[in-house]
Structure 1
């Protein structure tokens, strides 16, 4: 049952991409009409039919999408947001009630994961659907606005919207290729065996840096734990539960500092329409550095 629900969510994501491709093609003033149409159309195909076609075909599709991105052929179209006056009036009307649909996503994801047999991913999808219905009911907006604004936002975010999937796959690839062992061999001559403090620093910094590169702390965790955590931290007697939890959240410090974590740092900037797409990262950077130092201290004093 869970597999069917997840498949339904992937199909819906694919339909959103196909709708975006349709709107990009219909936009005669689009700065990159054909390239954007092909990109979103291929993404929709992968989401809907990816599991039914050979992996080699999906790989070729991803290469084509990568080439289109590299050639700057995936751009935002000519779809416009509501006027500043209208949005200001609506925000004054609803005030903090505007956060109810967004918060309901987290509530549903947590509730379904904790109290049903389904995973949090199913809950996340269900929460997104419920949040959409709640927003439509609250605002009395037309259903067509969902499609229009969804397409506008997806094109505004651009190819960065698929980074989470690509980076998760990259983490699995790194782990399978033995990158962790290569890292361990590289730093074994730098960190003296038995030096707990240097091992903790290397572990936390490695998690943050690899997350900055990969944009995904979960993907970085397998690689850095194998290459740094096991030989230089856990082998010294660290509590696996404490050290593992702190290592993962140390990776999240890197998440705050990288555009590769598009869903955290690029999407909010697009939604808020900031002048710089890195505005969120700039605001978080100093806080992330402080939190990284705190993680190093906590792991050193609590895990041993």
Structure 2
């Protein structure tokens, strides 16, 4: 039996569905109906995204946007343990608290590298379309079981904590899917061609430095707009890297792509659109300034971007 990518999404959808039910019945939340509807629709897209026609998925997304735009998404109240109880648990569990979190990256690497090619009969164990994502999903399930065994809590507690996390993130939970789609739309719409036309007017002819500078800075800026370097990469590469750096200057495509992605990651550190990296940590730590993570990372991002420009300029010559 093959563990498919759809199974991972279905698992996420089931958790989202259970979280939405808790939100619907949270009487402390003045917007519990609209908030629950937001997470319910999101769960449906995860559970049935492969079978629901794209048109109806689009309508569901529009409803989610309207809920957020009209102020219908609110965070509920959660019963938390006292500081003394949490401290007692921390002392009792000690360093074992880190085990579930460490299991996820370790098992993901092991699964994607060692189990990706294993077959049971004629069927592969992991979906060949994306074995890394399947390994990540399996690692999360194992980590969840380990956490329940370690803390001796019930699955109901894990769902409640998932709901608390989900509502802390809020509307930003849908950003990864939306931004990945945005990159595809931009590429299909020919934005890369427009970028080429604009940049060729301003870049001095036969100037490798300016081509490299605009490409790296463009990767960072587009990543800040889209929130995802993977979404920015096809647009900027089609617009600048291929016609100028590769075809005109003969740059090595492999080196170019690797450094360009690092330049894009610099933009990730400087934008609230990169919710997983910047908004989620602020929400988890209950920071008063939701942009605090970005402010701390900004100087490092600029220095790293400058280093990437220098690396690309000297390595692809």
- Decide: shared fold, TM above 0.5: yes
Q: Superposition pairs for residues 1-304 of structure 1, below 5 Å?
A: 5-115=4-114, 116-117=116-117, 118=126, 119-235=131-247, 236-304=249-317
Measure the CA separation in 2 of the matches of 1:203 and 1:87.
49
- Residue 80 of structure 1 and its aligned partner are, at CA, apart by 3.5
State the 1:100 CA deviation. Answer: 2.2
Q: Tell me how far apart the structure 2 counterparts of residues 162 and 237 of structure 1 sit (CA, whole Å).
A: 39
Q: Which has the higher helix share?
A: 1
Task: Encode CA deviations 1:192-227: one digit per residue, 9 max, x unaligned.
Answer: 121111111111111111111111111110010001
Q: TM-score, normalising length from structure 1?
A: 0.95
Change in CA separation of 1:155 and 1:195 when aligned onto 2, cut-off 3 Å? same
Measured against aligned partners, the alpha-carbon deviations of 1:79-130 in whole angstroms (never above 9, x if no partner) come to 2443333333433444443222112111122122112233110011011111
Aligned equivalents of 2:200, 2:170: Cα separation in 1: 41
Q: Tell me whether 71-80 or 151-160 shows the greater mean CA deviation.
A: 71-80
User: Is this contact kept in 2: 1:184–1:228, CA < 8 A?
Assistant: yes
Distance 1:179 1:105 in 2: 37
Distance 1:183 1:47, change over 3 A: same
Q: Report if the CA contact (8 A) 1:193-1:232 is conserved.
A: no
Measure the CA separation in 1 of the matches of 2:224 and 2:94: 35
Q: Deviations over 1:114-173 (max 9, x none)?
A: 122331100110111111111112222232210111011101111101100110011111
Shift of 1:302: 1.5
Cα contact 1:75–1:156 (8 A) shared by 2: no
Q: What is the Cα deviation at residue 16 of structure 1?
A: 1.5
Unaligned runs of 5+ residues in structure 2 are 118-125
> Compared with structure 1, are the counterparts of its residues 80 and 287 closer, same or farther at alpha carbon in structure 2 (3 Å cutoff)?
farther
Q: Would you say how many aligned residue pairs link Structure 1 and Structure 2?
A: 303
Q: Work out whether residues 80 and 152 of structure 1, in 8 Å CA contact, stay in contact via their aligned partners in 2.
A: no
Summarize the Cα distance change of 1:206–1:134 in structure 2 as closer, same or farther, 3 Å threshold.
same
Return the alpha-carbon distance in structure 1 between the equivalents of residues 44 and 292 of structure 2: 33
Q: Go from structure 1 to structure 2 and tell me whether the alpha carbon gap of 1:102 and 1:237 turns closer, same or farther (over 3 Å shift).
A: same
Long gaps (5+) in structure 1: none
Partners of 1:217 and 1:190 lie apart in 2 by: 24
Query: Bigger shift: 79-88 or 143-152?
Result: 79-88
**2-side partners of 1:186 and 1:146: how far apart?**
51
The CA distance in 2 between the partners of 1:100 and 1:74, in whole Å, is 34
> SS where residue 174 of structure 1 aligns?
helix
Q: Distance in 2 between matches of 1:91 and 1:193?
A: 63
